[in-house]
Structure 1
Amino acid sequence: MKKIPVLSLVIVLVLSLLAGCGTTSATSAQDPDSITIAWLPNCAGDDFKEARAEIDRVIEKASGIKVVDKLTTDYAITIEAMASGNAQLAWVGAQQYIEAHAKNDKVLPLVVNSGDSGTLDDALYYSRLLVKKGNEDQYQSGTGYSIDNIAGKKMSFVSTSSTSGFKVPSSGIVEYFSQQDQWKDLKAEDLLEGGSGKFFSQVIFGGSHQLSLVNVLTDKADVAAVDDIDVASYVELTSGTANRPGAVYTVREDADAPFDKLAGAQYVIIKATPVLNAPITVNTGALSQQTIDAIKQALTSDEVTNNPKIFIPENAENKGFFNQPQRFLPVEDDWFNPIRELSK
């Protein structure tokens, strides 16, 4: 009779230990002395210093931990910083998030900026193929534009890890041209370099959306892949409909570097593709769950939504990454599956 309670006790103890192990695994992350946020090259310029500082301030207030910026010069550096935990947070494109998550599944999306509706339904920006104004006639087809004539041209991408600066446009190019006998075996990796017998005569990588745009404006490239959000503060819509083929944009007179010597230069969009908004990501193995929850709660708060230094009002003088009437919303890993599908 005495064996039953003893056995029961052993079972309870074992189950308790197993439960304890599970709990320890889920909450084992310890907060560092400071939180490092990694920023892609597109976001690392001095003109975005105040915008970065305001986001840092919100996170520092929510977490009670000092925040430090890691300004990167290469997409791969940002991805590795997140995957290794050297950076606990980062604002990256969907493709960079997917690559970091593949390296370390503890890297997860924290929040993403909504569309103007305040929901995820229109949480989109645009990947665009564009050409220098004056050259657009080569790509006209009837009353619209076609990418038929980009074959054999000099091409500027951003980075192989860029969602809108490589992954989306390269997938679109492959999908379109693989319907033709000449290019029926075309793959995305065939677009990485140019030369004789290649799809492009030359391929260069700008390293940022800003520099990819510079490449086409300075005739280093005939066609460039450039998103809309990373160059929005340097240019203005001159004619046509924003982010639609035929739209003409002009570099502002007061544009900061690297466009300070290109005022008045113009480009024309020949193709535009919507892309899922970029997430603020977190390495959940490098921060405690309590701190992660506090940061998420702060970022999704009405206080941050109404902060004009984070969500910039129309015609504001300060520059930022997000615009009113958007807001931050929580998002899950599977929301980015459409971008994953592009690699299959």
Structure 2
Amino acid sequence: MKTKLLLIMIAVFAVLLTACGDGNSGSATADDVIKIVWYPNESGNDLKSSRDEIGRLISEATGKEVEHQLTTDYSIAIETLVNNNADLAFMGSQGYVEANNGNDAVQTLAVKSGESGTLDDAKYYSWLAVNVDEQDKFKENGEFSLDTIADTRFSFVSNSSTSGFKVPSSSIIEHFSQQEAYADLTEEDLMGSGPLFSQVLFGNSHQGSAVNLLSGNADVAAFCDTCVEEYVELAEGEENTVGAVYRVKENAAEPFNAVTGKEFTLMSSDPVLNEPFVVNMDVIGQADFDKIQELLTSDKVANNEKIFAPEDSEQSALFSKSDKERLLPVEDEWYDPIREISK
């Protein structure tokens, strides 16, 4: 009898040990609060109405409270999600790849479609821009040339930004590594002054990188079209093409209010896969994932002007809508091209 009791106690103790081990493995459980962490680009007051509307709808769909976590740094947003301190995030494709590498419970939820309403044209653009009145410094034989950016003051967004670092740095390295002087050029080399740039700045947001250029602190800047479209207007040429000129609107909100009327032109423009909404499955759980995905990809969201502002609207919103744009489910594999350039 004593032997039988001892065996039962050992078995119970083993189960308890296993449970404790599972609790320390980094897994978490869903609770009554859904925490959304936002990149610096989407943390400004201009997008508060979009954040609040998304939070309201998610709360309505799940019956749970929604908390917004605003950030001033890409890495903070990524680590918050990776470390199980947020359920949901809207981030660039490079940020998603980094987060997924850090915690495979971080998975894609939805992504904005292109004008067609499909993933076929679900893209935005990574720009390299220079001030209009200095553009001739960056041309050879009348054409923009990457050779001219050597020894300049260069502004990136963040080294975790897809369009504000990964895509432009890949193009820059591919170009300059053909030259003997820069044969061993690496991403790390582009993060500080020398061997290519005289000075490197990080705007910490696409808006910040653009203002670095327009305020005269940088000679060349990398940033994307969608993150500055609320603040600028096309002044000359065709959108997202080399040589197009953009002007800061007279009523532009912070941080562009100090550079209104300033103009910049594009020396390069490269397509990039649209940014996803992503979740930490260990924190949010399958039930809430399903409810939120159904909500975000619904007509209710696609037709909500606080989230998708019409093209001619004066209202700021997370997305603009000119045709059939909406949010669509997206699989992890769709971002494999970003993984390739990250190797």
Same fold flag (TM > 0.5): yes
1:113, distance to aligned residue in structure 2 (A): 0.4
| 1:115 matched residue in structure 2 | 114
CA distance, structure 2, for counterparts of residue 176 and residue 145 of structure 1: 13
Q: Give the equivalent residue in structure 2 for 1:6.
A: none
Please name the residue that 2:79 is paired with: 80
Moved over 4 A (4+): none
Matched, 1:224 2:230: no
Deviation at 1:142, TM superposition (A): 4.1
Measure how far apart 1:323 and its partner are: 1.9
Q: Which amino acid aligns with 2:53?
A: E
Secondary structure, aligned partner of 1:57: helix
Question: 1:41 is matched with which residue?
Answer: 40
Please give the residue correspondences for 1:1-344 in structure 2 after superposition, counting only pairs within 5 Å: 30-142=29-141, 144-195=143-194, 198-324=195-321, 325-344=324-343
State the TM-score, normalized to the length of structure 2: 0.90
Q: Which moved more, 1:38-47 or 1:303-312?
A: 303-312
- Percent of aligned positions with the same letter in both sequences? 50
The code of the aligned residue for 1:274 comes to P
Gaps of at least 5 residues in structure 1 are: 1-20
* Maintained 8 Å contact 1:38/1:89: yes
How far off is 1:309 after superposition? 1.4
State the distance in 1 between where 2:128 and 2:159 align. 16
In the TM superposition, residue 33 of structure 1 has moved relative to its aligned partner by 2.0
Q: Deviations over 1:159-182 (max 9, x none)?
A: 111111111100110011111222
Question: Cα RMSD between the aligned structures?
Answer: 1.6
Counterpart-to-counterpart distance in 1, 2:133 and 2:206: 21
| CA-CA distance at 1:29 after TM superposition | 6.0
Q: Deviations over 1:253-276 (max 9, x none)?
A: 000111112110111110111111
1: CA distance, partners of 2:198 / 2:29:
51
Determine the C-alpha separation between the residues in 2 that align with 1:29 and 1:287. 9
CA contact (8 A) 1:114 1:123 kept: yes
SS at 2:282 equivalent = coil
Q: Distance in 2 between matches of 1:331 and 1:310?
A: 19
CA distance in 2, matches of 1:59, 1:317: 25
Secondary structure, counterpart of 1:119 in structure 2: coil
For the residues of structure 2 that align with 1:229 and 1:221, how far apart are their CA atoms? 21
Report if aligned partners of 2:139, 2:148 keep a CA contact under 8 Å in 1: no
Q: Is the 8 A contact 2:37 2:89 kept in 1?
A: yes
8 Å contact from structure 1 (residues 129, 226) kept in 2? yes
CA deviation map 1:93-147 (0-9, x unaligned): 0011111111100000100000111111111011110011111112224454221
Q: Which runs of 5+ in 2 are unaligned?
A: 1-18
* SS at structure 1 position matched to 2:283: coil
TM-score by length of 1: 0.90
Q: Is the 8 A contact 1:144 1:245 kept in 2?
A: no
Contact kept? 2:130, 2:213, Cα under 8 Å:
yes
8 Å CA contact 2:30–2:282 kept in 1: the answer is: no
**Deviation of the 1:305 alpha carbon:** 1.1
